[in-house]
Structure formats: structure tokens, C-alpha cells
Amino acid sequence: MSLPAAPSAFSGSKHGLALAFICLGLLLSAPHATAQAVDATELGFPRLDLAAGWLVHAGDDPEYAQPGFDDSHWTPFNAATDSLHTLFPHSMPAVVWYRIHVKVRPGERYLDLRERQISRAFVVYTNGVPLIHAGSVTPFVPYYTFGWIGGKIPDNQVATGSIVIAVRARLTPVDWSDGQPGLMDWKLSLGNGLGLRENTWLQLLGTGVLNWLNDCILLCLVVGALLLYFAQRSQVEYLWLAAVGVVDLLTLPLEFYGLLHTFPMSWWFVPGAVGDLLLPYLYARMYLAFVRRPLGWRLHAYLVFASVSYAVARLLYDGGWATADGITLLSAPALVLSSVILPVIMIAQARRGNREAGILLVPLLLRGVYEYVYWGAIVLVQIPSLRSSAWSVFRALFYTPIGPFSPQFNQIPELLAWISLALIILLRTGRTSRREALLEAELANARAVQQVILPEQVETIPGFEIESVYEPAQQVGGDFFQVMPAGEGGVLLVLGDVAGKGLPAAMMVSVLVGAIRTVATYSHNPDEVLAQLNERLIGRAQGGFSTAMAVHIASDGAVALANAGHLPPYLDGREIELPGVLPLGVTGGARYETVRFRLKPGSRLTFYSDGVIEARNQQGELFGFERGRALSTQPAAAIAEAAKLFGQSDDITVVTIRRTVAVLTPTRANAAQPQPVELQPSLT
């Protein structure tokens, strides 16, 4: 009996190779395994962010939306970790489709999808039926899609227990410039409708808390700045602040509407373009005005250039019509303005002792840090090896949760800017209040002094009935008058009006009244009194002047009158013509002409300051000389009250002197003879 021959090595290898080919054929002939469905049968969550389980494909075919479409050859995609840049390293497809298979509980009700900012134009399908859409993918019509929008999945689809969600997204060059263009884990969520709505409002409050705070503070600043500007027209920085606020709030209605709606980007272009064109210029002018930095033509030209280039960059960005490189280049002048030029100016002004510049420097520096990080990340995103790190920076800037809030870093410098401006206004208000308190005290003291030097009741002088009324337009005034006995039964009247109002005019009144009383001790001649007052005023008026009139009335009615630019008096309702002459304080060595006439018993002289004639009513009509002449025979109190009721705008002074009876001194008793009233000017 013989043993069977052992198999050769060659014959064994042939059998193994045949077996391998058979297995490979079976593998190749078997269908590809589809992506594993995401299990959403247990809705014990407010929302499910759809991240893992996606399949992605470039191109555009309506069949991609159908639930029965074979997507087995599509590329798996995790929206939380993967980037389209990795899948399409050498191309930027205009349209990208995403598909995900979701298992749901057939009896589930109120199952909704919620979307935010997938792209500027997209459609979300469930089992081949459009559920959410914004804009037009082809032809491309961009929409504003920065808010949360959602839709309820039809019950008949939920009843099948399986839903295919397909997303058709239009990606622009701007989208491809991002580190993670298109769909991301937080951009599409599935959940119970009521829970999603509650979660949406919580996210609106959480992500928008700084925005709402910014808008509220800015609105208050606009109102306050306008009120301050109308009260202090010289403070033009308040007008610039109000302009910044108005332009910045221009897009606020659309932003509110866009929180829960989409709308054509064309709606945004007009208010957005106006804001983008004006805001860099207005911001710079506001900062420069607050620190009193003059604006040269070179800096002004640069502001205009930076504003225009920034507006063009934003227009291209909003429409998705440019790459990050082009937008970065166009935005560079505005970046240099906000992060280099303005901080350098603030530092220079702060070193000169401008405390307000130091306050404004803080938000500018923080804004500069943000701008450098933001634009640096945009540049790094374009480098494949650094794209992941750059995208992490983006997420930290815009999507960093802090408890229930998710503030964006760019909102913090803006908030600090408004707080800084509010702080400056509060500090200014405090300083103004302290200055006003000191001024009120000074005015009260000046008023007390003026009440002493300006007689409220005129001394009784035999033979004359004298009335006087003084109504300053402010706490203290620039009108003055002095009525004094002038020896042998006569009376000396000096009255006038210092140019200006308030405390400076009151101080000059004090100087003049003191000079009048000094001169009256040795001379009652009107021309000499005015000449001495003029010399006292020269060099002390600091470019100002004062009108004045000096009148001496003897006991027998002889009147000598000299005038220095004051209003002529009225004699029994008739204006006395006087020669024109310069006021006091204009030129040294001035001589004043004397006019002489006689005041009969019963006759009245009436003297006004220009506050009577220049009283103005609400229609802008002047009280005028005609009314002044008609009232000149009335008591002083009645004349002053009539001018005040008509519309006082300046100090009002009225003095009337009526000669009652002839008072003869012993030396003149035998020589006195009646004389006619006549005006005979003479030069002394």
C-alpha cells in the first residue's frame, strides 16, 4: 500500500490565490454601506445640534434632496470638526449639498428644525420637501441670514420613522474665506418646537445681551448729546457724538427684524452702506473733537479715503462678491485709522495733560487688539496648515459661552467706548455744576454789592420829584445811575450802560459808580464828570465801552447836560436832540459838548437805558422809540413794567425828574427871573 503524494507548494498557493480573488469579487459586487442614521427617537433634549453623520457632495442636482437617492458614494462629514477646505483643497464649489439620515419616533409631534446662518442662500429639505429657505441659490440672490429661522417637519414624514435632511447651500468667495465655510454644528438643530423656541429666546438674550446694552447706552448718549449741544453750541463734540449714534442706530430696525426672519440683502445695502461710509469718518471726528485736536487737510483726506475704502469692503462682504484677501486690503486704511492713528493721537494728548484723552485711549487700544487678532486670523485661515488654529481663534472671538451668555469679543470695546464717553460727560457735568455753584455765589455777592451802589430809593431833594426803576436782565446788570444833591438845592444825575451783561459788566459798573462819587466831590459840571469817567475807563474796559450821560439841574431849573453815546432824554414827551459823540472808554482825552436849557416847574425829564427801547416781543418786534416817546410822561414804574411785559432782553433803567416848585437860595432870591425853555448848546 502506498502513501498519497504530498501536495506541492505550488499547487497550495494556487488554491489560496483563487480563494482571495473570490472574496474580492464578493466585496466588489456587494453594495456600499450607507451612512449610519442619527438616532433622535428619544427627545429628552431641548435641541439636538446636527453635527456628526453628514454626507457632503459638490455639485447641484435636485435629485440630491430625495430620500431614496443613493448617497453611499458621498463623503462623510462632521460639522463640528471637519472643514470643507480639507474636502475640497483645490477648488471652491459654488453649490455644496449635505445629507443626513435621522431616525425619529413615529408618534412624535411638533418636531422642528431650526437654522442660523448656513449661507447667504440655501434650502433645507426634509424627505425631498423644502422646509426652510433663504434667498436664491441659482441664480444667486443673497439674503440676510444672521437670525434664527425654523420650520415644523410634517407629521406624515415623522410617521415614517425616518427623515432625510438635505441642505443645498450656495457658498460665495467670502464664505470660502472662512476657516469653516458652510454648515457647522450649531447652524442646524432638531428638536421639539416649543423647546426650540424657548431655546432660541434664551440664545437671543445670551448672545445679544451686550448688543442690547450697547444700543440702550448709545440711544441715551444720543439724546443727552443733542441736549448738551443745543445748550452749549461751542461744544461740537456733542454734535459728532449724536451723529455717530444716529448713523450707528440706522440699521437697528432691520437687525431686530433679522433676529427671527430672513430678508433680501438689498434691503440692507442702503442703510448698511450709509453707515459703513460715514461711521469711520464720524468716529474719528468725534474722538478728535473730544480732545480738541485740530483736523489738518492731510488727516481729513485720509479719513475720507479710509471711510470710502471701508464702505466698499463691507459692500463686497455683504454681497459675498470678494475673497478675504481683497476685503482685508480694502479694510486696511480703516484698520490703521482705528488701531494706530487715533491711539497715537490719544497718547499724545494724554501726555499733554488731557485726562479725557486717557479715558478714550482704553477702548481704542482694546479695539486695536481685537482688530489685529481678527484680521490676523482671517489671513491665517488662508494657510491650510494653520487653518484649524485660526478657526479656533474665530470661535473664541464670537462663540465663547460664559454661563448662560455668549458675548462676542468685538462688542466689549464698543461697550467700553460708550461707557467712556458717558463717563467724560458725567465728569464734565460735575465740573460744570461746581463752576456754576461758584458763579452763583459770585453773582450773589456781586448782586449784594450792586444793591449797595445802585440806590433802590433815591434821596429826597427839595424842589424835585425823582423816580427810578432798575430791572437787570440777569442777576447783575450793566446799567448804572447815581442821583446826588449838587449844592445850593441842585441835583446831579449820572446814568449809563456798560457794554455786555453779567459779572464782567457788573464789575465795570462798580468801577464807574466809585469814580462818579469821587468826581462829584469836587465838580458838578457834566462835561468834566464824563471826561474824568472816560479817563478812568481807558485801559480797564479791555476793549469794551460804556455809554453815559451826566445832567446837572440847578435849583432855579437851569439844566446842563453832557452825553457820551447814551439815549437822549425826553422833556415833557419831546425828545431832546443831542450831538453825537463816542462812548466812554474808546479814546483818551475826549471832550464832551454841553447842552443847556431850563426846566420849568411842573416839567418832567425822562431818561431811559436801551433796555426799554430794545425790548422785543415773541414776534421779534421792537418796543421802539415811538412807544418810548409816548410813555415818557408816565411814572417810571409804569414805563419799566410796560417794557418788561413787552419782552425784556436787556437791563431796564428808567429815571424821571420833575421840577415841583422853584427853590431860591438867599443869594439868588432877588435875581431870579422867569426864563423861557430853550436849548442852547455850548462848548466848555
Rounded CA-CA distance 391/161 in Å is 37
Q: Is residue 17 part of a domain?
A: no
Q: Is residue 631 part of a domain?
A: yes
- Rounded to an integer, the average pLDDT of 620-627 is 91
**Do 471 and 615 have their domain in common?**
yes
Rounded CA-CA distance 519/525 in Å is 10
**Do 141 and 226 have their domain in common?**
no
Beta strands in 349-490 (DSSP E): 464-471, 479-485
Which residues, 6+ apart, have CB-to-CB distance to 299 below 8 Å?
341
Q: Which of 636, 600, 659, 670 is closest to 462 using CA atoms? A: 659
**Do 460 and 395 have their domain in common?**
no
Q: Is residue 194 part of a domain?
A: yes
pLDDT of the residue at 390: 72
Question: Residues 546, 498: contact at Cβ < 8 Å?
Answer: yes
Q: What are phi and psi of 164, to 5 degrees?
A: -105, 115
pLDDT of the residue at 405: 64
- Rounded to an integer, the average pLDDT of 413-428 is 92
**Do 238 and 183 have their domain in common?**
no
Q: Is residue 449 part of a domain?
A: no
Question: Residues 509, 482: contact at Cβ < 8 Å?
Answer: no
Query: Taking the CB of residue 23, how many other CB atoms lie within 10 A of it?
Result: 10
Rounded CA-CA distance 126/136 in Å is 18
pTM of the predicted protein model: 0.65
What CATH number does residue 118 fall under? 2.60.120.260
**pLDDT confidence bin for 120, thresholds 50/70/90:** very high
| 431-444 per-position pLDDT tens digit | 888 887 877 776 66
What CATH number does residue 487 fall under? 3.60.40.10
Q: Is residue 91 part of a domain?
A: yes
**Do 547 and 670 have their domain in common?**
yes
Rounded CA-CA distance 532/584 in Å is 10
**Do 499 and 371 have their domain in common?**
no
Radius of gyration of the chain (CA): 45
pLDDT above 80 for 665: no
Q: Is residue 278 part of a domain?
A: yes
- Rounded to an integer, the average pLDDT of 402-412 is 70
CA 439, 440, 443 angle in degrees (round to 5)?
85
What is the sign, positive or negative, of the torsion defined by CA atoms of 19, 25, 26, 28?
positive
pLDDT above 50 for 212: yes
**Do 187 and 272 have their domain in common?**
no
**Do 183 and 256 have their domain in common?**
no
Residue 175 CB burial class (10 angstroms; 0-12, 13-18, ≥19): buried
pLDDT of the residue at 94: 94
**Do 586 and 606 have their domain in common?**
yes
- Rounded to an integer, the average pLDDT of 58-67 is 95
* More reliable by pLDDT, 674 or 225: 225
**Do 548 and 664 have their domain in common?**
yes
| 1-32 per-position pLDDT tens digit | 333 333 333 333 333 433 333 333 433 333 33
**Do 160 and 249 have their domain in common?**
no
Q: Which domain holds residue 269?
A: 205-431
- Rounded to an integer, the average pLDDT of 94-100 is 96
**Do 414 and 485 have their domain in common?**
no
Q: What is the mean pLDDT of the chain?
A: 83
Indicate the number of domains in the chain: 3
